[in-house]
Structure 1
Amino acid sequence: MSDEVATRLPIRPSPYEYALELLQRGVALVCLVEGIAYWVRLLGFFEGAAWRFDLMPFYWQAAAVPLAVLFPFAAVGLWMLASWGPVVWFLCAAAEIGMYGFFPELYGRHHLIIAFHAVVALCYAVLRLLLYIERRRAAD
């Protein structure tokens, strides 16, 4: 087979690469939903003091505004499989874990959100480790 033909053959992604792509795209959809939820909270679509920016306590304002911007940004990066997508998601996850894990008296208890972020981080780390091992074996 000539070099020209070999360069035109598609390279199939490994199962780990495919799983990582699916994980990132799934998390991207969740990030988009969370971003929209924060925007709904900021714009005041629902009645209540915690559902309108001008009536929110300062600590909610300080948390909701950056997350309303960063979650959709993370969703775009994760969907495009860009290298900065997981980094932005990690910032959002760390913020929510800090909010709901360390300050439940202010933000409430949301164990499901904390568990989701922990599971996603673990799955991402395991898949990246498996990809690293696979590439090391292929290089040897």
Structure 2
Amino acid sequence: MSEVQPSSREHAPRDPSIGVAAIAPERDDLRENDWTQRLVLFLRVMAVISICKGLYHWAQITGFVGGEDDAFEYQSMAWQTATVYFAVIELVAAIGLWLATPWGAVVWLTTVVSMAVIELMFPAIYGGSLLVVSIEALLLAAYLALAWMAARERPP
């Protein structure tokens, strides 16, 4: 039997540019969509919150929350109108937010601004809580910051 001679290829030095590192994505490529992922996570959290808010408004309309004195029929027309508006628009926003669609963000932004305006300009409807306005403003600022950072990730 004859011995198998090693080929010259096995003894040649390896080219450092060829290998796993050359075909593996760089660390920057893996982190390319971090802000977009954070934005989608934020939108999903806002979707869950919008569902809760929408269901709460429907519970007010149907009488599942509050006593007989707080019944929907005994409230002012402005309160009834605002409650029905938010009962519908919050759930529509939740769907769009969960799907991370542009229209979902627009509808959600409409709910945020609407609630802030009602609290500030028409305090007789829901009580004019500055805490609610502050929370809505904080959520709006968080959305704008995340959207800005996500937009910067994507090339034009």
Asked if TM exceeds 0.5, the reply is yes
Equivalent pairs counted in the alignment come to 126
Report sequence identity in percent.
28
Bigger helix fraction: 1
2:121 and 2:96 map into 1 onto residues whose CA distance is 27
Unaligned runs of 5+ in 2: 1-28
Instruction: Tell me the equivalent position of 2:136.
Output: 117
Instruction: Tell me the equivalent position of 1:22.
Output: 41
1:133 and 1:88 map into 2 onto residues whose CA distance is 23
Q: Contact 2:118/2:128 (CA < 8 Å) preserved in 1?
A: no
Q: Deviations over 1:75-128 (max 9, x none)?
A: 111011111111111111111111112222332133332222111111111122
2:151 corresponds to which of 121, 132, 140: 132
1:57 corresponds to which of 76, 101, 120: 76
2:152 and 2:33 map into 1 onto residues whose CA distance is 12
Equivalent residue letter for 2:130:
H
TM-score normalised by structure 1 residue count: 0.80
2:82 and 2:93 map into 1 onto residues whose CA distance is 16
Q: For the pair shown, which has the larger CA radius of gyration, 1 or 2?
A: 2
Instruction: Tell me the equivalent position of 2:8.
Output: none
Q: Deviations over 1:1-25 (max 9, x none)?
A: xxxxxxxxxx966110111011101
TM-score normalised by structure 2 residue count: 0.73
Residue 47 of structure 1 pairs with residue 54 of structure 2: no
Aligned CA RMSD, in angstroms, stands at 1.9
Deviates more, 1:60-69 or 1:97-106: 97-106
